[in-house]
A and B are shown apart, each in its own frame.
Chain A
Amino acid sequence: MEKLFGLEMTTIAAFLGAVLSLVLLVLALMGWRNNVMLKLGLRPILRRRTQSSLIVLGLMLATLIITAAFVTGDTLSHTIRSLVIEELGPVDEMISVRANGDATRSSYFSFSRYEDVAEELGSYPLVDAVVPGIRESVPAVNLTRRQSMRALQLIGVRPEDAALVFPVEERTDADGNLLLIEALEGREIYLNEAAAEALDAQKGDRLELYVKSSPRIFVVGGVSASGRSARAFLDLRQAQALFAERGRVNLIVISNNGDDTRGVRHSEEVTAYARAILSDEAAAKRLLTRLASDKSAMQAIRSAAITYEGNTRADLLALAAGLEAGTLTNTLQSLLADEALGAEVRSILDQEEWQSESMRRRLVTQFNQLSDFSVEDTKRDGLDQAELAANAFTTIFVVTGLFGIASGLLLIFLIFVMLAAERKSEMGMARAIGAQRRHLVQMFVYEGTAYDLVAAGVGVALGVLTGLVIALTLGSAFAASDLAIRPNVTLKSLAVSYSLGMLVTFLTVMISARRVSRLNIVSAIRDLPEPPPQPVPLKNRLLSPLHAFLDGFRNLRRLRIWRALRSWIVTIPASFLRLIWAGFRGGPFTFLLGVMLVAAGMQAESGALFTTGVSFSLIGGGLVLQRLLALIFKQRKVLTERIAYTLLGLALTVFWSLPSESFEVFGVKDLKSGPEMLFIAGFMMVVGAVMVVMYNTDLLLRVILRILGGNRRLAPVLRMAVAYPLANRFRTGLTLGMFGVVVFSVVFMATAFKANEAFFENTDALTGGFELRANANANNPIPNLARAAARRPELRGGGFEVITSESTLNVELQEDGGRWSWYRLRAVDDPYLDTVGYEFALLAEGYESDQQVWETVRDHPGYAVIDSYAVPSRQNTSIVIGGPDFKLEGLYLEDEIMEPTRLRVRDSRGTAFEVMVIGVLDQTAGFTFSLITSQSTLEKVLPETPIPTSYYVDLADNVDPALAGAALESAFLEYGLETVDQVQEIKDAQAAQRAIEQLLLGFLTLGLIVGVAALGVISSRAVVERRQQIGVLRALGFQGRMVSWSFMIEASFVALLGISLGAGLALIPAYQMINDLAVDVPGLTFQVPWGSIALVVGLAYGMALLATYLPAQQAARVLPAEALRYE
């Protein structure tokens, strides 16, 4: 991958590398200055190898997840890039005729025009070759084997140019012979592998190619052993004769200097140069003067640029900068002459209401006058798309990995708390003999960094493996499209993953080290419980910045300049920070922050801000309540904490369990939320529930003991097993949290996926009742398939109940004078509107039923319905890659009803008309972005109605769509009609989706490693910590087996509690989300994914037991006499 979050990977790698090096350098210097702490920090690593291994396992997870996400991105990027490069071979740019708003304009130009262009471009040093050609798409039929295809791309080139247009693999047959164009005899063509496969063709087969509906017979002269998209190549002269365009071509291909891969590096410059020389300088100057005359235009382009991605964004910014400079440079001229960019600029300016309709038309004309040719940087554009797709997947996996990363960081914290507990008396002694607190921090940081260095390395290695598994699984998920995944890992990604994982872990280590170094020396030496910290009076806190300020002066007077500076620069800000932090810890500031976030959330209609704000207010309120209760019930700390934190935990859990409509009671409406809400919800609910459990575990245990404690054999074991987690509330809470968060994410996703399965089951809602879809080539369409089919005797009795037709055209849509955005318009015939079964998410006011809406569209030209992609949802839980960005204003999918909405539609020739949208289709019908209207609507407003090229067929019951499709294809072989079994298509899509879902679930489950490592660390630590107690128990009569059972039950208690918390809590938001979505998506029902839950619970619990088994066995082998000798 080249970029992440819009930043160059090289820049990110350099920055992170620099920060990491700086951190390591500072640590090395500190270690060199005081190597006692370094030695103390590093010594335990090799001494306790098992424990060290477990720590490394826990610490590596964040790096593993980050690396896996990057490697997935790298592999996908590399795969798609390779496909683009293989497909285009030496071709870097393509030049063709610009329509400039005139659809009737011929795409051909004279050969002499090509020669002029070639002369000018050929002298450019970065250009290797400029080649003329013809490119056309035609329906093709293999007469020998009766197999047809709708769109075969024909490419005509001169024999000497073939090597400059096609990759050598595509010009070589299976035996390794070069397919030479000059060797083709009259009416012979070569097919590439994909074309041969689609037509089932072999050398010598007779093909019928349809040019403007008339068939021409060709013979297959050879088949190449490569090529992914179906194309055929022939001599340019043959092509000119075939399309009746003698002496003319419709394509100029440019190959840059450098091979297939490297040539693209010059693409930006070559494209700019080509656009500059092919555009009219005077027209460009006029356009520049016009655009630069208004600063708001540049501003609009600049601010709109950030909503775009990839090259388009960069080009728009460069254009805005060029317009600002006001001078027509080659670059600026080429940007203006970029046809696609020009369309974007016009769209941006339309939206800004920058100009009146007449001005707008003039601007269109000025853009059209710029050039007759469009120069496309085809390869560079393809590579850019590869990058965007790879980025999208990386983002998905990073976001999904957040749960694992979060619980990984909790684990690091836990590990350091445990390490500190282990060395408590050692640390106390060190402090007693003069070590400062910072020395202890240093000691832990050295140790943590050493683990971290190794863990990040292991994480990267395992992350690479995981990433490759993910990428390969993705490849098989898309097996239907025959995508061969090519594993790839870049050094940059590895460097970024290592540094990022290392730094995130290091930061957590720092925070943990600071926390654990705060200890009471006497308690530490005698291994007594840490006394509660002495509260600092508020007055002292408030005055501490002032004291620091005065201290500075005092030091200055004594000429201690360094100390004075330290007081002012370090101590004053630190005391302010402490003051603020105390405010947060005490509750009031947390509460205020929450209130502010709530207000901001309501203002910005942001669900994330609002709900996080309420959570902060609750946490702040809970902390304040605890303080107040402590004042009332003095000396009853346990009670006050129990009341305050139980209420707080319950409030958090209940709040996050509420359905979003419940906020409307408080007048909060229209909150929007995105996928990040899932992460926040999961985290908050688990935190709340863990609080409730941890402050009431004794009650829970009493119940457990009452139920199970009656068993005489089990009673003592159970007593010990539950006593320890209860006594170590912090550790237990953290472990519960880790299990809870991860299991929450897995179960939530599994539930959502299960509902999705049900969604796919409803094939009628997805197909609209049409089992078969057929497509014909625009060069050879069937104007009325229903009538044509009726005339074919072989189709009679084939179960074709209704055959409908549809014409599709790309249009632009505008609502209420807003921005024009491209969209797809589907004009369907009356039988379609009579038969279609799609349901609606929203009906316009005055319409009672779906049926009524469809009838209105059929009977009244000018009426239309639109798909659900055009309407925003308040629950934005899906990620849509690509597609138009047109959205209806002021309307949400969750609304009950809509106003009839008037839209302006503009076709490619600029003809504009209006339609009235009276319904929004359900999401089930939303496979394509489309505005659906009747063909009669178009007949009324367009001078020439487009001919239908798509057909939908309703088959009788018990008719096999595959057989019916084959019959239809065979009957209309000469049209190259292609049919698709829509139900099968859905099933294939479902299978691909299922594979991706399983992959995401697997990725989430990685987080379980954390919980398991936590239990492993806790258990092996417990063996050391409780050695003497094990001795006592053994002396009292505990059998060795009972000791190990006690350990296993303890781990089971923690693991099962965490797992059930996570699983139980996840079902609440999952239920609500699915119920919310079910309003718009019929067939979507909440089902508990018992199978997945059982699998996750079984896996998590099994792994937890496995992690505890060894320490438990170790504990069982402790010799009582030896253990009792321990002090």
Chain B
Amino acid sequence: MNSMVNDTIIQANDVYKTYQTGTVSVQALRGVSLEVKRKEVIAVMGPSGCGKTTLLNCLSGLDAADKGIINIEGSQLTEMTDYERTDYRAKRMGFVFQFYNLLPVLSAVENVEMPLLLSGVRPGEARDAALDALVQVGLAERSNHRPAELSGGERQRVTIARALVNHPVIVWADEPTGDLDSETADQVMDVLIRLNEERDLTFLLVTHARRVAARCTRIVRMRDGQIEGEQTPEEVLAQLSQIPAMGEDLSE
């Protein structure tokens, strides 16, 4: 695994986020500070409702933080307008979601080429690049199939191809293996790690699975909207080996 980390790519300081659900307000993030170096693969872990996904959303600009500073590649995300954030996402970020979130009305290749089209790449070039990306995730033959015609693993690989096709610097992944069996989850992680090594990409993964977290460079643990601490992959592996009987896809 690549452990050559030097410059900071994500810098979050004292980030707060509160949701209003009906009459109840939920403090999802309570003063979170986090620093991620370029080419790191970070896993954010924690119990349900601890604020993992909210953190990912705020850091990636999908959601706006109420308070605090978020710097991505030196640009202050919290200062950007919605238009600028969206444009930034289109050009510099990739996303992988638990339920694939592919566009059901488009074929695999059309899904993959969408970020390129959004970045202003010519349609012909975009198609070629999308096909290349599908080759890389081993789905060249399924390029014209719609998501409904693909298996869970295949769908997730299309999502990965889509996340990577426009050569982002950061890929955000929310439970990328959450809906997959352990074998397929391993295959998906293989692809992510390979890409991290080949392309020097930074990954921030939200996951429940220790098995997935164990393959990352660093593990950030959250509880009640705050960062509780960090773990090394080795520590997670050790935890995994202590409870083998619980099965492979062991979550917290």
Contacts and interface: CB of A to CB of B under 8 A. Distances in A.
Interface of A: 528-529, 705, 709-710, 712-713, 715-716, 719-720, 723-724, 726-727, 1028-1029, 1031-1040, 1119-1122, 1124-1125, 1127
A1054 to B, nearest CB: 14
Contacts of A1037: 86-87, 89-91, 115, 118-119
A715 B82 CA distance: 21
A529 B115 CA distance: 26
Interface in B100-130: 101-106, 110, 114-115, 117-123, 126
B86 A715 contact: no
Contacts of B82: 1039-1040
Nearest to A1042: B118
A544 to B, nearest CB: 33
Contact of B86 (A712, A713, A1031, A1038): A1038
Contact of B95 (A713, A724, A1036): A1036
A1034 B118 contact: no
A1116 to B, nearest CB: 11
Given A712-B117, A713-B120, A1039 B106 contact: no
A256 B104 CA distance: 79
Interface of B: 53-54, 57, 60, 62-63, 82-83, 86-87, 89-91, 95, 97, 99, 101-106, 110, 114-115, 117-123, 126, 148, 162, 174
26 contacts: A529-B148, A710-B123, A712-B121, A715-B117, A716-B118, A719-B114, A720-B105, A720-B106, A723-B105, A723-B106, A726-B105, A1029-B103, A1031-B101, A1032-B95, A1032-B102, A1033-B103, A1035-B60, A1036-B114, A1037-B91, A1037-B118, A1038-B118, A1039-B87, A1120-B62, A1121-B62, A1124-B97, A1125-B53
B36 to A, nearest CB: 19
Contacts of A709: 123
Nearest to B107: A723
A1120 B54 CA distance: 12
B120 A1035 contact: no
A411 B114 CA distance: 33
Given A719-B110, A724-B105, A727-B104, A1034 B86 contact: yes
Nearest to A715: B117
B101 A719 contact: no
A1031 B60 CA distance: 13
Contacts of B126: 715
Pick the 10 closest A-B CB pairs, nearest first.
A1037-B90, A1121-B63, A727-B105, A716-B117, A1121-B57, A1037-B118, A723-B105, A1121-B62, A1032-B101, A712-B120
A1032 B60 CA distance: 13
Nearest to B122: A712
Contact of A1035 (B95, B106, B121, B148): B95
Contacts of B102: 1032
B49 to A, nearest CB: 12
A1036 B105 contact: no
Contacts of A705: 123
A413 to B, nearest CB: 22
Nearest to B63: A1121
A723 B123 contact: no
Nearest to A723: B105
B25 to A, nearest CB: 15
A1073 B69 CA distance: 74
Nearest to A714: B117
Contacts of A1033: 103, 114
B157 to A, nearest CB: 16
Contacts of B97: 1032, 1124
Contact of B104 (A715, A1029, A1120, A1124): A1029
A713 B90 CA distance: 13
A1031 to B, nearest CB: 8
B62 A1036 contact: no
Nearest to B159: A1032
Contacts of A1038: 86, 118
Contacts of A1029: 101, 103-104
A716 B122 CA distance: 11
A726 B60 CA distance: 32
Given A715-B126, A716-B114, 19 more contacts: A528-B148, A529-B148, A712-B121, A715-B117, A719-B117, A720-B103, A720-B105, A720-B106, A723-B103, A724-B105, A1028-B101, A1036-B114, A1036-B118, A1037-B90, A1038-B118, A1040-B82, A1120-B62, A1121-B54, A1125-B53
Contacts of A712: 117, 120-122
B153 to A, nearest CB: 17
Given A716-B118, A1124-B62, A1039 B86 contact: yes
A723 B148 CA distance: 15
Contacts of B118: 716, 1036-1038
B70 to A, nearest CB: 14
Given A712-B122, A713-B120, A1034-B86, A719 B115 contact: no
Nearest to B53: A1125
B83 A719 contact: no
Contacts of B117: 712, 715-716, 719
Contacts of B54: 1121
A1121 B123 CA distance: 28
Nearest to A706: B123
Nearest to B103: A1029
A352 B245 CA distance: 103
Contact of A1120 (B63, B103, B121, B123): B63
A778 B54 CA distance: 99
Nearest to B97: A1124
Nearest to A1039: B86
A839 to B, nearest CB: 61
B148 A715 contact: no
A1033 B91 CA distance: 13
B17 to A, nearest CB: 10
A723 B91 CA distance: 23
A648 B82 CA distance: 50
A724 B103 CA distance: 10
A1032 B123 contact: no
A643 B119 CA distance: 38
A1039 B89 CA distance: 10
A1040 B121 CA distance: 20
Contacts of B101: 1028-1029, 1031-1032, 1124
Nearest to B99: A1127
A716 to B, nearest CB: 4
A1036 B115 contact: yes
Contacts of A719: 106, 110, 114, 117
B83 A1035 contact: no
A275 B148 CA distance: 84
A1125 to B, nearest CB: 8
Nearest to A1119: B63
B123 A715 contact: yes
Given A712-B117, A723-B103, A723-B110, A1035 B62 contact: yes
A705 B91 CA distance: 23
Contacts of A1039: 82-83, 86-87
Contacts of A715: 117, 123, 126
A400 B106 CA distance: 42
Contacts of A1031: 62, 101
A1121 B63 CA distance: 5
A528 B54 CA distance: 28
A558 to B, nearest CB: 47
A1033 B126 CA distance: 17
A1035 B110 contact: no
A700 to B, nearest CB: 16
A290 B103 CA distance: 87
A710 B62 CA distance: 29
A125 to B, nearest CB: 79
Interface centre among A1032, A1035, A1119, A1121 (most CB of B within 10 A): A1035
Interface centre among B62, B83, B102, B115 (most CB of A within 10 A): B62
Contacts of B103: 720, 723, 1029, 1032-1033
